[in-house]
Amino acid sequence: MKRALIILISMLFVVMSVGIAFAAETTFNGEYKVRAWSNSNFDKRPDHPDSEKGLYTGYFDQRFRLTITHTTSEFLKAVVQVDLVEDTWGQQRNFLINNNTNGEFVRKAYLEFALPRVGTFTVGKQPVVFGYGLMFSDTSGYLDGLKWSNTWGPVGVSALYFKFNDGVRLGGTSEYYNRDTDIWALDLMITPNDKHTIELFGGYVNARTGYPMSHEESFWFDHSGFDFDKVHSHIGFLGIAYTGEIADMLTLKGGFSYLSGRADLSNWGESDHAWLSGYNVYVDASWHNDLLRAGLAFVHGSGQTNSGWDAEHYNTNFITADEFVFGNIIASGNGGLNDAFGTGLGFADDIENLTAAKLYFEVSPMEKLSLNGAVIWARWTEPVGTYSYYYHPVNYYLGNNTYNSWYTDSTDLGWEIDLGLSYEIMEGLTYSLTTGVLFTGDSFDYEGAGGTHENWGPIWTVNNNLIYEF
């Protein structure tokens, strides 16, 4: 009898195990993208004849991104996202992300489980976007940590901890050994109905690596020959974002973020600390129906107003940002694998020292075809040039000393015109075209050979995309 009972229990265990295995589900989805890039005049040969000054870059790249989700039940799942191929045509060096020297093979890898009434826990390398991502967002796998979230009716709350970096891998001989960055954050999402959402977020960053750093500050010290180090930074940040839909034809978006803190300095000539502060503003209103969407957007990021050798204050208006996109060149957040600028004009996704307004439209004359366009006016929030804390725009974003500003400073960034289209060739396969022309302003003027006053001229980009999503 005892032996029969053991056999019966064993059989029940096997049946239950098989049932659980069949109840679990593993899904695969991803994207295969091939892009053809054509960029002109992002950089120049300032000492060459006029006909050869503008530099042209054209190339193809491709990327295969795969997301694997294993779901055991509604309470438990694991997600891994990898970039199996990142390749610039003609530069094959190996099969796995051969164009990426940073080893970002795994972009996301996290475990998510829910405990009834307690909440949902997400552990691992996970994406985070606060508001519209102007100050804090990451979907590229830089954040490793823990998130707890729960909802009570229209109110959702998330508490987050992340380790942004850790200097252990540098080894004990490095002065940066064991310095790291910890981020604590709280996010409150209020959704009174399906047409309105309000998000409040804030947190604290304890950066023993000296992070974060503004672009201006990074360029200043990289090229001044002066050894500068933030050994410890304390940063507090907060923000609010709103998304609303009125009468099913008017969409409103808006966001504001602010940070403030202090950094302790070493290897510096005058003071032993610096104050850090910065803010961003974003508003967007669009009218739409089944055929057309037309809108007006505005973005403003603070710039450096008090710097210099005394190092008393620096503008830093982002913690980490990789999500925000405003135009195809200005704040594009999108560059090719072989692009020296990396992310468009180098504005990347953060908007430090940028003020811009955009009038845009999107029209769908056919179910599978969409056309879009935009006109953008842009200026620097604070002047750029010889007598400014920001040097020539291209030096500032490329990190070089190639161009001397033309004995002045200016807030004139320029005008941008964007055009594009998207066409669904078949289910899952889409072709898109993205173009942009930036008519550069006076801030791009530079000193040419023999001390001549040179205008930069227009910058343009054309990007063809073939995207297969599955």
- CATH for 230: 2.40.160.100
pLDDT of residue 309: 45
Q: Is the overall model pTM greater than 0.75, yes or no?
A: yes
Confirm whether 190 is domain-assigned. Answer: yes
| DSSP label of 263 | E
Can you say whether residue 270 is alpha, beta or left, with left for phi > 0 and alpha for psi between -120 and 50 degrees? Answer: alpha
Confirm whether 11 is domain-assigned. Answer: no
Which pLDDT tens digit goes with each residue over 389-414? 788 888 777 767 788 888 888 999 99
Measured from the Cβ of residue 193, the count of other Cβ atoms closer than 10 Å reads 8
Residues 191 and 427: their CA atoms lie apart, in Å, by: 33
Residues 306 and 389: their CA atoms lie apart, in Å, by: 8
Q: In terms of Cα–Cα distance, which of 293, 301, 349 is closest to 326?
A: 349
Which residue(s) pair with 296 in the sheet? 285, 359
Confirm whether 71 is domain-assigned. Answer: no
Q: Can you give the residue range of the structural domain that contains 429?
A: 116-469
Residues 324 and 334: their CA atoms lie apart, in Å, by: 10
Confirm whether 108 is domain-assigned. Answer: no
Confirm whether 434 is domain-assigned. Answer: yes
Confirm whether 102 is domain-assigned. Answer: no
**How far is CA 435 from its chain centroid?**
20
- Encoded amino acid at 115, one letter: L
Confirm whether 303 is domain-assigned. Answer: yes
pLDDT of residue 101: 47
Confirm whether 18 is domain-assigned. Answer: no
E strand segments, 402-445 = 409-426, 429-440
Which pLDDT tens digit goes with each residue over 95-137? 444 444 444 678 889 999 999 999 999 999 998 999 999 899 8
Measured from the Cβ of residue 296, the count of other Cβ atoms closer than 10 Å reads 13
How many domains, the chain?
A: 1
Which residue(s) pair with 468 in the sheet? 32, 429
Residues 313 and 262: their CA atoms lie apart, in Å, by: 9
Which pLDDT tens digit goes with each residue over 269-302? 455 677 888 999 999 999 999 899 999 999 999 9
Most confident among 13-22, 259-268, 428-437 (mean pLDDT): 428-437
